[in-house]
Chains A and B, each alone.
Chain A
Amino acid sequence: MTELSVAGISKRFAGVRALNDVTLEFPSGAVTALMGENGAGKSTLIKIINGDYLPDEGQVVLDGRPLGLHSPADARQAGIRVIPQEPEIVPHVSVAENVYLGALPRKAGRALDRATLNRRVRADLERLGFERVIRPETLGSHLTPAQRQLVEILRALTTDAKVIAFDEPTSSLSENEVEALFTLIRRLREDGLAVIYVSHRMQEIFQLADHIAVLRDGGLVGVRDAADTDENDIVRMMVGRDLSSMFAREHSATGKVVLEVDEVTTDDVHDISLTVHAGEVVALAGLVGAGRSELAGALVGDLPIRSGEVKVEGKRVRLRQPRDAVRAGMGYAPEERKAQALLLERTVRDNTSLVVLDRLRRFRFVRRGEERRLTREFVDRLNVRTPSIEHEVRKLSGGNQQKVVLARWLARKPKVLILDEPTRGIDVGA
């Protein structure tokens, strides 16, 4: 029996088509993966299911009954829960209180019945097999990202959810945590829930999903049973062309040393040394928490370096603040582009020219013609899909926003460009 389905869903934003006549079923007792490049419409579809957006056309149907979802509260009422990437957790209260937020058990008067509360949560955890992963008494502020998601899932289960959707749940989890989450998701499936799983990580999809639905440019390309397909097939569906061209990569190391990192120690990483040549791409691999972002942050002057030194083109640079790194010729596209890089309410032009204003000015006045020319050049080079360079950045899709951040730094022609998780929330095609 089909629990949840969407029928003929279409949605447009300011004339841009985000979803076009998508019809899809999410059977209960199964994991349905939702895949697609950025801007394909995955997030929009999830938001419609969650009641964040009203579809222009089409319906969300649960148990054969069309739902009019006007808010996430409506979706919850109907038994649909979307687990966000970063669940909202109240920091100064316990896990148990976080789970039953808004429905806390009370004693006479209005006093909190903490004993009952903790007993309930402990029972919930045992039922799910997570009694060793998280304790009901732990404070919200002490939770790891995986535990925060677990709290959100517990919230969903205590309200009798029938459908649980995960929107890229593993992006901030370490390997062990991912394993734990998968165990949980499999258990949810056995309990007969419909699970919707949005992710970019191909391996995860094949570990978990029963069905794989692929979206491209707002339309449904097709649904496959995970057993009958493979990665190449899915990627082909996602990008509409073959994979091989995408991994072709030029090696153009010219040999000149640009960046030398010598025994750098910060609060989070110890004795890191590495050398980067011009034209070279160096990948910093490591699990979440291994210190990748922390090293990147130190190299761009955002986090203090305790000992060791950094040289750019043989010259030692002192990195006390980001300004020093920018001056030394380093560019940085941070992990959280919205929070750390973009001026969402300003135009593509404002965002691109931000770090080159000092080169564009004459007597402190910005040369507007030159600014527009430069912006157009990089918007074209990076194929930023925007109606115009005067378009507000918040109206662009995630992938195009990331391209704006790249355009900004490329316009400055940095010697070293540091990208922290550049593909987060973006897909293979970009």
Chain B
Amino acid sequence: MTTATREPVDTPPKEPAPRRILTTVGPQNVSLIGALVVVVAIFSWLNSGYFTWDNIQVIGEAATVAGLLAVVQTVVIICGAMDISVGSQTGVASVVSAMAFTSTGHNPLLGMAAAIGLGVVIGILNGLIIVYGRVNPVIATLAGLAAYKGVAQLISGGRAQGFVLGDDLFIFIARGRIAGIPVQVVILILVAIAVHLMLKYTDIGRNIYAIGGNDTAARLAGININKYLIAVYALAGIVSAFAGIVLTARTGSGQPTSGSEGLELQSITAAALGGCALKGGKGGIGGTLLAVLLLGALNNGLNVVGVNTFWQNVAQGALLVVAVIIQQRRSGERAVGLPT
């Protein structure tokens, strides 16, 4: 190595303050906040009851289940994979939590533990199928979407199971407030913070970004990719189980399909809208949460002004496509043939 004749390196360029704030928050997040402001402004103008504390709580509670899944979907997508079965897993967890609660003589903790335990098993199964069966993650979890929904319907006989709102813990989750904030929303916030800390500040998170960014490089750097992928799917199973428990508490009983169908779409939409690159290696919890909030505010607003749910489905699909188009534009994806 010759060392003599090179100019010094690493003098951070001075940026003006507004620019610095923009780069810390991220342009993606700034546009999400902008969109949120616009949505809130429009619906407040259309309906004076929209921007009230009561309705904001309603928005938060309605967004919790999808929000939990969006948070964990973010981790899966950063890894370069996807989990389409999260909605069905939520359904299984909801049914199991209610049925285990009933059959253990109304013990809520055992009910929840059973749901979480099964979530881990399903998640690991997904991971094993993908890693050792060499099945594309989208296909593997698409199969899971159908199969786990079937499992939920089989064990419940296709009907809502049990009644949990005689129990204090479930009532607390459904209707409780901590510092004025609904318990469900607190659960979402806690999970989001934990996942954010993991992604951003631990070596686990760094390795997850590395796997999604360049899996060959990650492997050659000595990262055990298989272990990470299986663990990430197990995490998806656990968080889906949380979502299922919240769903049970909200509806008062175990729901095999109602309330959990279509959640995979919502979670992927939120992650994409929040800035996750679908090819992996890029994204964060902050953006995803903002997107969850935006989607929640939009759904609630459409309900408040009385827009048909069928149209809401159309809007949801359109939004996912638009989010991805914006992303591809930004990353300078070549405009030829099948996208990567």
203-239 of chain B: CB within 8 A of chain A: 203-204, 206-207, 209-210, 213-214, 216-224
The answer to whether B12 and A385 touch across the interface, beta carbons within 8 angstroms, is: no
- The total of Cβ contacts below 8 Å across the A-B interface reads 104
Min C-beta distance of B226 to chain A, whole Å: 9
**Number of A residues contacting the other chain (C-beta, 8 Å)?**
47
Q: Which of B202, B220, B282 contacts A340 (CB 8 A)?
A: B220
The answer to whether A366 and B202 touch across the interface, beta carbons within 8 angstroms, is: yes
Across-interface contacts of A302 in B (CB, < 8 A)? 219-220
B1: interface (CB < 8 Å): yes
B340: interface (CB < 8 Å): no
Interface stretch (choices B2-10, B40-48, B107-115, B157-165): B2-10
B166: interface (CB < 8 Å): no
Across-interface contacts of A387 in B (CB, < 8 A)? 10-13
Across-interface contacts of A390 in B (CB, < 8 A)? 12
Min C-beta distance of A351 to chain B, whole Å: 9
Min C-beta distance of A185 to chain B, whole Å: 29
Across-interface contacts of A341 in B (CB, < 8 A)? 214, 217, 220
The answer to whether B210 and A354 touch across the interface, beta carbons within 8 angstroms, is: yes
- B contact patch SS: loop
B310: interface (CB < 8 Å): no
The answer to whether B210 and A383 touch across the interface, beta carbons within 8 angstroms, is: no
Interface stretch (choices A198-206, A208-216, A220-228, A321-329): A321-329
CA A343 to CA B215, docked complex, whole Å = 9
CA A342 to CA B218, docked complex, whole Å = 9
The answer to whether A386 and B10 touch across the interface, beta carbons within 8 angstroms, is: yes
B53: interface (CB < 8 Å): no
CA A366 to CA B12, docked complex, whole Å = 22
Interface footprint category on B: 20 to 34
The answer to whether B206 and A339 touch across the interface, beta carbons within 8 angstroms, is: no
The answer to whether B13 and A388 touch across the interface, beta carbons within 8 angstroms, is: yes
The answer to whether B216 and A339 touch across the interface, beta carbons within 8 angstroms, is: yes
Q: Which of B206, B222, B281, B282 contacts A326 (CB 8 A)?
A: B222
B132: interface (CB < 8 Å): no
The answer to whether A361 and B202 touch across the interface, beta carbons within 8 angstroms, is: yes
The answer to whether A346 and B201 touch across the interface, beta carbons within 8 angstroms, is: no
Check A366/B216 contact, CB under 8 A, given A376-B10, A380-B9. no
233-252 of chain A: CB within 8 A of chain B: 241, 245-246
Across-interface contacts of A357 in B (CB, < 8 A)? 203, 206-207
Check A322/B220 contact, CB under 8 A, given A345-B282, A383-B9. yes
Given A327-B222, A345-B282, A379-B10, list of 12 further CB < 8 A pairs? A343-B217, A345-B281, A346-B281, A354-B210, A357-B207, A358-B203, A364-B204, A366-B203, A366-B206, A368-B201, A384-B9, A387-B10
Please list 26 pairs of residues, one from A and one from B, whose beta carbons are closer than 8 Å in the complex, sorted by A's number: A245-B2, A246-B2, A300-B220, A326-B222, A343-B210, A345-B213, A345-B281, A346-B209, A346-B281, A350-B209, A354-B206, A354-B217, A354-B218, A355-B221, A357-B206, A358-B203, A361-B203, A364-B204, A366-B201, A383-B3, A383-B6, A383-B9, A386-B9, A387-B10, A388-B13, A429-B2
